[in-house]
Chains A and B, each alone.
Chain A
Amino acid sequence: MKKVESMSIRRKAKWYSTWSVALILATSVGGVVVTNAGATTSTIVKGGTLTYGTDREPTCLDPHNYGDMPQTYIARQYLDSLVSELSDGSVAPWLAKSWTISSDGLHYTFQIKKGVKFTDGTPLNAAAVAANFAQIENPKTQSATDAGYLAPYYVSTTVKGPYVVEVNLKKPYSALLDVLAQAFFGIESPKAMSRGLTANCQSPVGTGPFIVQGWVHGQSVTLERNANYNSAPANAKHQGPAYLSKIVWKFLEDSSVRFAALQGGEVPIIFNPPAQDQTALNADTSLSLLQFTHSGIPNGIALNTSKAPFNDVKVRQAFFYASNAKSALKSAYEGTLPPASGPLSSSTPDYSSLFENTHNFNTVKANSLLNAAGWTGHNASGYRTKDGKALTARLVYSSNTGDTPPADLTLLQDIQASEKTVGVDVILVPQSESTYFNSFTNETNHELLWGAYWNSPTPAVLNIVYSTSALKPNLGNNSAFTSDPALDTILLQAAASTVPATQKKLYGQAQAIVQQQAWDLSVYPETTRLGIANTLSGVWIEPSEGEPVLSDAWLSK
């Protein structure tokens, strides 16, 4: 009884002090009182353990290796990059305090911040940055994403002084700074990298606000606060160490389980709450949604152009017209996601809105295109045939619910049913995650592939996804197996240009070719949607890759 009494007095005292501090700060300093989207207003509280519920487990915690989205989301918490992307498409200083670009666009000289140390004690300097570029370029790192961005342009990195490093290119690459802002290019400790890929995958070391403490595979990664953090980007909400003392990055593959954990108060923040629970989320005043639409290539279906039937542009265009993808998206995601129709997501710089309605549902056009392509016969099941062969397309997807949530499966079945009306037999083929990833670079066992997106801050990503040079080196590069010399030229010219009007014109031409060729059926832009309880404040999403930033976040008691 006594205990209870003293507790209530303590609580009251805390309430009193919290509000008085808030009031004083609000009147005197102003900016310190922070309001989260839909959350309550309170003063910053230091300490506490935050559990972050996410869908997919990374294959490796070092984002230089491979380079899938789950890696970049978590890496942002323990790695700093050279520059930080701003929402207007420009970049702010981060580990690089300033930089200069040579007039021919081939040499980028970075001045590295002094007095910064990796969390294993190694000092950050020009040599450390050069070691990172060397690791990214080394084929042993098996870098899919980083190599995709760099390989066509990169020559070398030169140490020009203790804190001066120069990146040399063979061709001008105006998107380089945006590219380097991604956590995929986070700077790691050379000492830690020298342990080899396996050890570095388990516990990479950066200069970031948190330190990887442990990774229990299949369950969670534990991150601890870096008490000496002094290298926050210029656009961070505060400088100095993070407020939270610990983050448990928990893998909750099933979206409904994640949402239940958020609603039940066990997990204050979850990645991508399921569409079917949007109404419940909106109705719950203790929860809010922070949403970011990725730029880059939207999620959709890659059409395998290396063999029949999709080696014929008429059949590809017919597949687009017959898909009814917009209605399928609306049904599957209950209107929570915007449709994507063109080659780029609408938030990408130099996005052209000209292609939003060019392939709207039209069975008349689909049928006439299929007839023109010679698929004029029909078999007993009603599917089209040509030379006795049925118009069949195997659509592969990952059977992992983290990769392909139930709403995606509904969407694919809707598209399948719609294609059936014009006589195209789409067969859904679930594959284990490893087989599915293999399908990206192996064209033999599928005609269609679901999940061919590429999140990127720049339209230069078109080069990774459609150029001849990107043909089959890595997962996600050129999933349609295309080669178009005219497009290659345009994309290289666009990458070399620093004149915004020229870039816009060239990327517009590139989008026109991609859309006319119908290589990828865009369905919806990828999103980072964070379901947040109002006990958590200060979370923001950075715009290069939609990475959640937790170094400015705090938990109110």
Chain B
Amino acid sequence: MVTSLTEALVVGPGIETHVRRRRRLSFRLGVWLSALLVVFVTVAAVDPSLLASGAPDTINLGHSFIAPSWSHLLGTDPSGRDVYTRVIYGARQSLVIGLLATLIAMVIAIILGVTAGLGGRWVDALINRFLEVLFAFPGLLLAFLFVAIFGTGVVTEVVAVAVGSAPGYARMIRGQVLAVKGSGYVEAAYALGHAPRRVISRQIVPNAMRPLVVLATMGVGQSIVWASSLSFLGLGVAPPSPEWGAMLDAGRDYTLQAWWLEIFPGLAIVLCTLAVTSLGRYFQQKLDGGIGA
């Protein structure tokens, strides 16, 4: 994900206009659908009772393994719980975990990235080596390590995902800070005699933070996938939470018998991540356009 982000940010203006227009037109439908889905998921997260009438943990032992039908849109699980209701209620946890994890990752990344970019050669070298050590481990492995030390649970899951994804963001922010630091307008500001503190707060940091909107949006998608992965492996939230990854985990032994237990939570993760990511890419394109204009 980070690699593609890095590549995407490098793609700047200079693509021929007609090609661009056509791409934009086809992109629009996707953007609208994505926006619609994000709104739907947000409503589900804010007030799930608007979209589902029952409660996600109401057990009905006489109604287990009912295939999708009008009475149970997405079927029922072994305990007779309605899968649709659980998927809707699961949106809150999945989205909140995704948002919070991204937020924490960003805070860690900004502190590390900006300090490295502005802190001088030694500080930069130190932080860079530290980040390189973290890069030696895949992000999800860092998250595993965190869970292994601090145990399972929602809070650990959020922090674990944040810790796992922060190094990638930190490296990007450092790059942005360095790029902005060397730009003409910063030089001009210094030449005009502005104090370094003022240049940092007024010029460097705000300009370096612009691509963060894109990073953050796309990061939410990534965090949702990672959090689901942790829950799927039994390292996330405890049952009977309807978190999507946990639902996937609970249903995996019943794949042949009750396919709906796997397909629908899986689809929820895929669609939600796709929607958030494609919105992120749309913002990124807007931003590139803005820079190019």
Contacts and interface: CB of A to CB of B under 8 A. Distances in A.
Contact of B238 (A331, A407, A430): A430
Interface string B143-159: 00000100110000000
A8 to B, nearest CB: 36
A194 to B, nearest CB: 36
Interface in B52-96: 57-59, 61, 64, 77-80
A432 B151 contact: yes
14 contacts: A254-B253, A255-B253, A274-B253, A324-B61, A328-B61, A399-B152, A405-B253, A406-B254, A417-B59, A417-B79, A418-B59, A428-B238, A430-B238, A431-B152
Given A412-B239, A413-B240, A432-B151, A256 B57 contact: no
A410 B148 CA distance: 24
A327 B61 CA distance: 7
B49 interface: no
A543 B235 CA distance: 37
A413 B57 CA distance: 9
Interface in B92-138: none
A331 B43 CA distance: 33
Contact of B61 (A331, A406, A430): A331
Given A410-B78, A410-B79, A429 B238 contact: yes
Nearest to A420: B57
Given A331-B79, A413-B79, A418-B59, 16 more contacts: A256-B252, A276-B254, A331-B78, A399-B235, A405-B253, A406-B254, A410-B78, A413-B239, A413-B240, A416-B240, A417-B240, A428-B238, A428-B239, A430-B152, A430-B234, A432-B151
A275 to B, nearest CB: 9
Contacts of B58: 417
B22 to A, nearest CB: 47
Interface in B227-263: 234-235, 238-240, 249-250, 252-257
Contacts of B57: 413, 417
A276 B254 CA distance: 7
Contacts of B148: 432
A515 B45 CA distance: 45
Contacts of B252: 256, 406
A452 B72 CA distance: 36
Contacts of B61: 324, 327-328, 330-331, 414
Interface string A249-282: 0000011100000000000000000101101100
B151 A277 contact: no
B239 A409 contact: yes
Interface string B30-59: 000000000000000000000000000111
B79 A276 contact: no
A305 to B, nearest CB: 24
A131 B51 CA distance: 70
Contact of B256 (A280, A406, A414): A280
Nearest to A334: B78
The A interface, classified by DSSP as helix, strand, loop or mixed, is: helix
B80 A331 contact: yes
Contacts of A256: 252-253, 255
Contacts of A441: none
A370 interface: no
Interface residues of B, number: 25
Interface in B198-253: 234-235, 238-240, 249-250, 252-253
Interface residues of A, number: 35
B79 A414 contact: yes
A399 B255 CA distance: 21
Residue from the set B77, B78, B256 with the largest chain A CB neighbour count within 10 Å: B78
Given A410-B79, A417-B79, A435-B151, A276 B257 contact: yes
A531 B199 CA distance: 73
Nearest to B64: A331
A399 B234 contact: yes
B253 A406 contact: yes
Contact of B240 (A328, A428, A431): A428
A332 interface: yes
Contacts of A406: 249-250, 252-254
A255 B252 CA distance: 10
A401 interface: yes
A430 B238 CA distance: 6
Nearest to B59: A417
A429 to B, nearest CB: 6
Nearest to A333: B78
Residue from the set B58, B59, B254 with the largest chain A CB neighbour count within 10 Å: B59
Given A417-B79, A428-B239, A430-B234, A276 B59 contact: no
A254 B253 CA distance: 9
Nearest to A274: B253
A432 B153 CA distance: 12
A76 B79 CA distance: 38
Interface string A392-411: 00000001010001110110
A135 to B, nearest CB: 33
Nearest to B233: A399
B240 A277 contact: no
The 4 closest A-B pairs by CB, nearest first: A417-B59, A406-B253, A399-B234, A331-B61
A273 B189 CA distance: 72
Contacts of A274: 253
Contacts of B238: 427-430
Interface in A333-350: 334
A407 B256 contact: no
Nearest to B254: A276
A280 B80 CA distance: 22
A409 B250 CA distance: 8
A410 B250 contact: yes
Nearest to A400: B234
Residue from the set A254, A255, A405, A414 with the largest chain B CB neighbour count within 10 Å: A414
B240 to A, nearest CB: 5
A431 B253 CA distance: 21
Contacts of B250: 406, 409-410
B249 to A, nearest CB: 8
A330 B59 CA distance: 14
A373 B87 CA distance: 39
B262 to A, nearest CB: 11
A277 B152 contact: no
Contact of A413 (B59, B253, B256): B59
A276 B235 contact: no
Contacts of A418: 59
A435 B235 CA distance: 14
